[in-house]
Amino acid sequence: MSGNFFSSTLSKAIEWARAGSLWYVSVGSGCCGDEVMETVGCRYDLERFGCVPQVNPEQADLLIVSGITSYKAAPHLRALYDAMLSPKYVLAVGACASCGGAFSPESSYSVVAGVDKIIPVDVYVPGCPPRPEAIMNGLITLQEKIRGYQRTQTEA
Amino acid sequence: MDTNELKRKLEIKGAGSSLKQSLAIDVGSLAHTAQFLRDEPNWQMDDLENISAFEMKGDILLTYFLKSSSTGKTMVLRATVTPKTETSEVDAVSVSHLWAIAIPLEQEISELFGVRFQGGKTRPHQVLPEGWRGFPLRKSYVFPIEFASIKHQRHEHE
Ligand code: SF4
């Protein structure tokens, strides 16, 4: 067995395990937080994707950010992200987390125009608010990204 | 037509009895008037429901909504302060020694409108983050280009 063959197979196994056990911390500072809770709850049951809620960022692989992030909250969100151990992923749920949404730079002086201005985001889930199905779709997209799969592109 | 007659007519027209006593007062006499209304046995305004502020034509209008829990009477006090320039702070008097609930209300108004409540308990940067410049609810306020190295606009070219 060559070293190369061994390491690539092992990394595949690690990616498979990583994608299937995304333990997360959730930051909900807006109405989208309710949809995230709904997704976690018994009806949609996020745990069947291997997602377990965590309170300690050091034990989490995924940061789910939903809702508005103000300039005042920005350093705290950054500190939370920094406290997570690599590899770490970020799911931005809803228009506010993705780009400021209804509190866009034109209409608000205090809201950051998307959390990607503070931390790197892996998957954006659009919607105001997105339905739990959309959040789950975002999570599956993230899992596919971790496993290195690519989705078939649909024609616009 | 006196106030009571107006109130009666409004009630007949189905507008309800929402008519409140309202006093427009000089900001200098605000603390005395408020204390009088709180301690006077006929009024006993022991509850401050809200303080609101808004800017109109360069003036900042402070409105105090008072209520008496024993007599049920309500009253509105209005005082106007005028900043020297569009961006300068302006002084008013605090009523937090009369109603403790005034502390957070004055705090918000002081940071968002730049009103200094003399004798109050306002502290810097309770509502806005540290290092914030300007008073966001003034009409002259210009949105920041960036804050704490975070660009305000989503894209550079905007
Ligand atoms: S995207 Fe819409 S639903 Fe979500 S936090 Fe913003 S305003 Fe609320």
CATH code, domain with A53:
3.40.50.12280
Q: Does residue B81 lie in a domain region?
A: yes
Flag whether residue B128 sits within 8 Å of chain A, measured between CB atoms.
yes
Q: Exposed (0-12), middle (13-18) or buried (19+): which is A52, by Cβ within 10 Å?
A: middle
- Work out whether the CA dihedral A85, A20, A13, A154 comes out positive or negative: negative
Which of A96, A98, A112 for mutating ligand 1's site (highest number of atoms within 8 Å of CB)?
A96
DSSP A70: B
Q: With CA atoms as reference, report the closest residue to B107 among B119, B89, B125.
A: B125
| Inter-chain residue contact A117 with B150, CB threshold 8 Å | yes
- Residue B77 confidence (pLDDT) above 80: yes
Q: What is the residue type of B90? A: V
B123 — pLDDT class (breaks 50, 70, 90): confident
CATH of the domain at B104: 3.30.460.80
Quote the pLDDT of residue A79. Answer: 95
Please name every residue paired with A63 in a beta bridge, in sequence order, or none if there are none.
Answer: A25, A90
Least confident of A60-64, A90-94, B27-31: B27-31
- Is the C-beta atom of A28 inside 6 A of ligand 1? no
Quote the pLDDT of residue A8. Answer: 66
Most confident of B110-119, B124-133, B140-149: B110-119
Please name every residue paired with B75 in a beta bridge, in sequence order, or none if there are none.
Answer: B21, B66
Say what angle helices A132-147 and A32-40 make with each other, to 10 degrees.
Answer: 70
- C-alpha dist (Å) from residue B53 to A114, B114, B118, B129: 30, 11, 16, 21
- C-alpha dist (Å) from residue B56 to A55, A140, B24, B53: 47, 52, 15, 10
Flag whether residue B19 sits within 8 Å of chain A, measured between CB atoms.
no
Q: Give tens-digit pLDDT for A126-153.
A: 999 999 999 999 999 999 998 887 666 6
Q: Does residue B103 lie in a domain region?
A: yes
Q: Does residue B63 lie in a domain region?
A: yes
| ipTM of the complex, rounded to two decimals | 0.77
How confident is the model over B40-52, as a mean pLDDT?
Answer: 90
Say how far residue B135 (Cα) sits from the centre of its chain.
Answer: 15
How confident is the model over B153-157, as a mean pLDDT?
Answer: 74
Looking at chain B, the whole-number percentage of residues with pLDDT higher than 90 is 49
Contacts of B95 (CB under 8 A, 6+ apart): B30, B31, B34, B48, B64, B102, B106
Quote the pLDDT of residue A10. Answer: 82
Q: Does residue A48 lie in a domain region?
A: yes
Number of domains comprising chain B: 1
Number of domains comprising chain A: 1
- Residue B155 confidence (pLDDT) above 80: no
Q: Does residue B158 lie in a domain region?
A: no
Mean pLDDT, chain A, rounded, equals 89
**What are the structure tokens assigned to B58, written together?**
């360069």
How confident is the model over B81-109, as a mean pLDDT?
Answer: 93
Cβ-Cβ contacts under 8 Å between A and B: the total is 35
Quote the pLDDT of residue A118. Answer: 93
Q: Does residue B111 lie in a domain region?
A: yes
Flag whether residue B9 sits within 8 Å of chain A, measured between CB atoms.
no
How confident is the model over A92-97, as a mean pLDDT?
Answer: 95
Range of the domain at B116: 3-151
The angle at the Cα of A145, spanning A139 to A147, to the nearest 5 degrees, equals: 105
Flag whether residue B26 sits within 8 Å of chain A, measured between CB atoms.
no
Q: Does residue A152 lie in a domain region?
A: no
Pairing mode, strands B47-56 and B90-93 = unpaired
Q: Give tens-digit pLDDT for A15-58.
A: 888 888 899 999 988 899 999 999 999 999 999 999 999 999 99
| Inter-chain residue contact A105 with B158, CB threshold 8 Å | yes
- Residue A6 confidence (pLDDT) above 60: no
B15 — pLDDT class (breaks 50, 70, 90): low
Taking the CA of residue A152 and the nearest CA in chain B, the distance in Å comes to 29
How confident is the model over A87-101, as a mean pLDDT?
Answer: 93
- Residue B61 confidence (pLDDT) above 80: yes
Residue located nearest, by CA, to atom 5 of ligand 1? A67
Quote the pLDDT of residue A3. Answer: 56
Starting at the edge strand found earlier in the chain, the sheet holding B21-25 runs B21-25, B74-81, B59-67, B47-56
Q: Does residue B53 lie in a domain region?
A: yes
